[in-house]
Copies of this chain bind each other. A is one copy, B any other.
């Protein structure tokens, strides 16, 4: 796990990117996918995730579909066209930012 400080400000970008590459995902699924993809190094907390999902929906970049699974509910989120554009912008901006930080911190460019 990274220090929480370091992960700040990346949540929206991560959510939008994953939903951009998937038809639909629900909140809990997002936490598990991120945990899996990062080998446990990034773990989304529910207290941060759910309010952010609600905000993104209110903003019109995500839409929802509530489904009953057994007796529990599951809220699927999918990305809207506006959201797809935003996801692209955010990912591109982050890519640029990473290059800037790589230079600023004197890190070796990643040569695979």
Contacts and interface: CB of A to CB of B under 8 A. Distances in A.
Interface of A: 2-3, 5-10, 12-14, 17, 21, 34, 37-38, 41-42, 91, 93-107, 109-112
A103 B8 CA distance: 18
Contacts of A17: 104-106
Contacts of A42: 100, 104
A94 B7 CA distance: 10
Given A41-B100, A98-B101, 7 more contacts: A2-B100, A6-B13, A7-B9, A34-B104, A37-B103, A42-B100, A98-B102
A92 to B, nearest CB: 9
24 contacts: A2-B93, A2-B100, A6-B9, A6-B13, A6-B97, A7-B9, A8-B8, A9-B9, A13-B105, A14-B104, A17-B106, A34-B104, A37-B104, A41-B96, A41-B97, A41-B100, A42-B100, A42-B104, A91-B105, A94-B101, A94-B105, A99-B110, A111-B111, A111-B112
